[in-house]
Structure 1
């Protein structure tokens, strides 16, 4: 991660000395995990002020660092052949957004309160491959094509980079003939529940992994309730959380060797 941070950003000329990248990252991770507001970020962490960490988070987001970090961790997993491309699962979960802002809306399942929705696509065992945000009023089905097209081409093994799963599992919210045809044309089998045909229990044995990963994401307290009015800042937190989850798989595999 440090390599991505140091190669993307340079210190400004003049003024106060720039806070070390590691210190700024420590402050950002503390906010993500604990839900601290920026102004109450403990100075004992040695990361400067909360606004310094906020500016660094935004700076790295604009430079595309968080997406590069996520893809870098996925590449590391692919080197060990730890990404299971046979199946992928897609789902979404809503979180409150009391402050409002970009990509928020009235949540029809929460008495019309303002909310934000996290859309997630994972591999067969729950590795987060793509995560994006929309307003809580956005129907899940509108994001299926966007999420599939956003899967990064992951290198790491000999041959071409892989970015297409063999099968895509989704719940009935994504059921439509247009989606099935679109997936079939791109070489993917649609495993989407249809009303009155497939039972919830039969297809749910594969979809539970995406629900588990959404639960892991919402253990990060900054993602459990959205406080950011700016969508890019909240997306940065979401991408960083996905990278941390993937890195746990890297550590677990390395310990097993």
Structure 2
């Protein structure tokens, strides 16, 4: 069963393959040149998509074409090469060039998910009877495209994670002169306002004690993006223990969300060979 439709997998793989170094089928230093062939990168890439989408274990997704050890080793190799992070950067650059990122309106919010395996980015969850949980402080543009995140234990408050989340703006290149950051009532404090002023940002922060519909703003975009990310079960219930691996899966999920949004927006204005027959 494919993890994603073909009109989404193929452009992802084409760009992903372009970032991988060229390797021979056999190791050049082998004295006989007849040892087992290297598993195709495309097979492992498809397994990574299945892991992300379905949330199953490496052993459950492994089969005769690829072992669980090969998936882990190739995953670690790609993380060392920075392929996942670079893939996300290219997706954002493409979206900005074709559609345009709405960078004058930024939304930031936190989301707590389960982390049964614990690990570097896990902590006691205040909403899950003290079980291990993961908090991500996510940032999106004005239309909900994910721009970056900061990971922490579920016991961390949203407000201290605002600064490392906003640091992700430095990776986006030139920014508008006036940027408004939309935040919920959890950020309603003098510390948050001072932080925004020091960075030259305008804050639209919900007031504590007031009904949400009265002060609704663009922060619902980041809440919708959290829901999109939670559709990837590897993120919703995270068993990974290393923060670098978690970030890699998040980068892959954010890339899928960005490319899917790009195809949807470009479907009515552009034509290409692999264009879906129906608007996604």
Pairwise TM-score range, normalised by the shorter structure:
0.7 to 0.9
For the pair shown, the structure with the greater C-alpha radius of gyration is 2
RMSD, aligned α-carbons: 2.2
- How many aligned residue pairs are there? 249
In the alignment, the residues of structure 2 paired with residue 54 and residue 165 of structure 1 have an alpha-carbon distance, to the nearest angstrom, of 43
What's the secondary structure of 2:267's corresponding residue? Answer: helix
Could you say which residue in structure 2 is the equivalent of 1:195? 208
Q: How does 1:156-195 map to 2 (within 5 A)?
A: 161-162=174-175, 166-195=179-208
SS in 2 for 1:117: strand
Instruction: Return the TM-score normalized by structure 2.
Output: 0.81
| Corresponding residue for residue 102 of structure 2 | 84
Q: Distance in 1 between matches of 2:154 and 2:176?
A: 28
TM-score between both structures, scaled by the size of structure 1? 0.88
> How far did 1:117 drift?
1.0
The answer as to whether partners of 2:99 and 2:266 remain within 8 angstroms in 1 is: no
- 1:27-59 deviation digits (Å, cap 9, x = unpaired): 100111111210111537x4x112212222222
- Other-structure match for 1:18: 38
User: What is the deviation of 1:165?
Assistant: 6.7
Shift in alpha-carbon separation, 1:10–1:174, aligned structure 2, 3 A: farther
Is the 1:121–1:210 contact (alpha carbons within 8 Å) kept by the matching residues of 2? yes
Alignment match of 1:148 (pick from 133, 145, 166): 166
Instruction: Say if 1:141 and 1:173, in contact at 8 Å, map to a contact too.
Output: yes
- Which residue of structure 1 aligns with residue 60 of structure 2? 40
The answer as to 2:39 corresponding to 1:27 is no
CA shift digits 1:79-113 (9 cap, x unpaired) = 12421112111111111111211111111122111
**Unpaired runs of 5+ in structure 1?**
156-160
Conserved 8 A contact 1:71-1:152? no
